């Protein structure tokens, strides 16, 4: 799946590359003799290598008159000239793009791993929080019971003290009757 995605990305980047105006190239698999005339009988001017850029100036019976980047003109067989960018030129660009895409994917993979670890940590914290909330609720309930019990014990103690406290026995206050 990843390789397929990278292949599609590479093709999209190739299509998105701006086209150069009417540039033609010598095919990848050969070295072509550029001659003074449109046949193999004519003298060789120079040897063109795969990937050299040439401009078409004319055609004659399977031969193409071309001009090289340095301005030299000569004839080459049309079967060795193509308007497509040869692999010797496009492959290094594609390799660079592929390397950049791999680095980007590695970076994203690292970020995803870090985020997965952070999410696991957050889930652990949520579980711990739920546990602490339940424990707090239990403690609150037990503290309420203890507070009620302590209050009842203090009230009972004061009632007991009050029951045992002397009331002044012989010195009762008289009530005035009317």
Q: Write out the two tokens for 138.
A: 């239990």
The structural domains of the chain, with segments of one domain joined by +, span 8-89
- From first to last of its 178 residues, the chain has per-residue pLDDT tens of 555 655 555 555 555 545 455 777 765 667 889 999 999 899 999 999 888 899 999 999 999 999 999 999 999 999 989 888 887 788 888 999 999 999 999 999 999 999 999 999 999 999 999 999 999 888 877 777 778 888 899 999 888 888 887 766 555 566 677 6
Instruction: Give residue-wise pLDDT tens across range 6-21.
Output: 555 555 555 554 545 5
Classify domain 8-89 at the CATH topology level. SH3 type barrels. (2.30.30)
Instruction: Give residue-wise pLDDT tens across range 23-33.
Output: 777 656 678 89
């Amino acid at each position: 799946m990843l390789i397929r995605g990278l292949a599609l990305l590479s093709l999209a980047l190739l299509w998105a590359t701006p086209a150069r105006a009417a540039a033609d190239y010598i095919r990848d698999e050969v070295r072509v003799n550029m001659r003074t005339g449109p046949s193999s009988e004519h003298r060789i001017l120079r040897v063109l290598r795969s990937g050299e850029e040439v401009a078409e100036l004319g055609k004659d019976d399977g031969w193409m008159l071309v001009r090289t980047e340095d301005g030299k003109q000569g004839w080459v067989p049309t079967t060795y000239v193509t308007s497509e960018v040869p692999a010797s030129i496009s492959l290094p660009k594609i390799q660079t793009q592929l390397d950049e895409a791999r680095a980007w994917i590695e970076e994203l993979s690292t970020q995803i791993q870090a985020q997965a670890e952070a999410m696991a940590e957050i889930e652990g914290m949520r579980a711990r929080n739920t546990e602490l909330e339940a424990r707090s609720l239990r403690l609150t309930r037990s503290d309420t019971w203890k507070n009620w019990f302590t209050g009842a014990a203090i009230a009972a103690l004061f009632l007991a003290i009050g029951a045992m406290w002397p009331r002044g026995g012989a010195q009762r206050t008289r009530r005035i009757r009317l």
